[in-house]
Amino acid sequence: SNSTENGIGITPENKNINSFDILDEYLLENIFILSENPRISGVSKGNVYSRIELAQSIFYSKYPRIAKKEELVFELMKKGIDINQGGKNSIYKRVFKYRMNDALRIMLRMFKKEEIIPNSRGPIPLIPDIKQPDLFNVSKNYMIKPMIKETSIMNIINEYELYRDENIETLLIILELEKIKLDLVVDCSIPEKNLFLIFNKKVSLYRFMNMTINFDELVCKAIEKDQPEFTRYILEFKEYSKAELNGFLKKAIPDYKFASNNKAYNNTLSFIFKLS
């Protein structure tokens, strides 16, 4: 028979329909999670994609609501899916793009053990006075490093435009990176006997990240793009002189005639007058 109890059968008209097209987003999401398969090969009629980036791009383009679901990201991270895998549709990029701040807090504490080869020109720490490994196992030495690959906090801020008003909460989370410390025994489940330095149980996860932030550059961008809340935040945080603030205004909007409707620009002017 060409019919089934649920009304979905195989007929000459629908025999080529992709089964996934019939399912709602809730079912698709559960299949995606339970499959534990980041390649999601079943979504494609071709059944196999040679590149994970392509597979995820097609999946999330077709089901954008799923791409924005923070609960899905939680489940995928629990299952150990590589946060950097999937190109522009990776967990890492979607967390920032859709402002999944709870997922971001978890993601920033995720770590990996990276082998250190003595006398190698490989991934040696950037900070000269921190050269010792965190742990050893038999004849191998390891360091605890974050899962995210970015090595500059300023690059993160610029790439995801964290100077925009709607991204202030995300920015505040990123500004706390330097404070994230992990207990090698409690958080990383490393036996004390394997610690390289028995008295050094806690490590700063982002010790090798460049934490330099160019606030001058950010306040100029915020004024130029009319982000009054972020501009106010920076002006209250930093003690700029009148000359510096006037310089930012001139750099952000060289011709003041185009600044009449710019709240960030006008708020900065008011701030300058208060300094008088």
Phi/psi-derived region of residue 3, left when phi > 0, alpha when psi is between -120 and 50, beta in every other case: beta
Instruction: State both tokens at 275.
Output: 């300094």
Cβ 211 vs Cβ 178: under 8 Å = yes
Torsion of CA 113, 114, 119, 122, to 10 degrees: -160
User: What is the three-class DSSP state of 8?
Assistant: coil
Mean residue pLDDT of the chain comes to: 81
Name the pairing type of β-strands 135-137 and 140-146.
Answer: antiparallel
Tell me what pLDDT residue 192 has.
92
Q: Which residues contact 252 (CB under 8 A, 6 or more apart)?
A: 220, 221, 223, 224, 265
Domain boundaries, the chain: 13-106, 108-212, 214-276
Q: Is the pLDDT of residue 130 over 70?
A: no
User: Could you tell me the two tokens for 239?
Assistant: 């003690």
What's 168's DSSP letter? H
- Predicted local confidence at residue 75, as pLDDT: 84
d(Cα 213, Cα 191) in Å, to the nearest integer?
Answer: 37
pLDDT for residue 42? 46
Tell me, yes or no, if the pTM score tops 0.85.
no
CA distance 7 to 140: 60
Where is 242: in which H helix or E strand?
helix 242-252
Weakest mean pLDDT among 145-159, 175-189, 193-207, 225-239: 193-207
| Largest Cα span, the chain | 87
Q: What is the band of 154 on the pLDDT scale with cuts at 50, 70, 90?
A: very high
Confidence of residue 16 (pLDDT cuts 50, 70, 90): low
Tell me what pLDDT residue 276 has: 73
pLDDT for 183-217, tens place per residue?
999 999 999 999 988 888 999 999 999 999 999 99
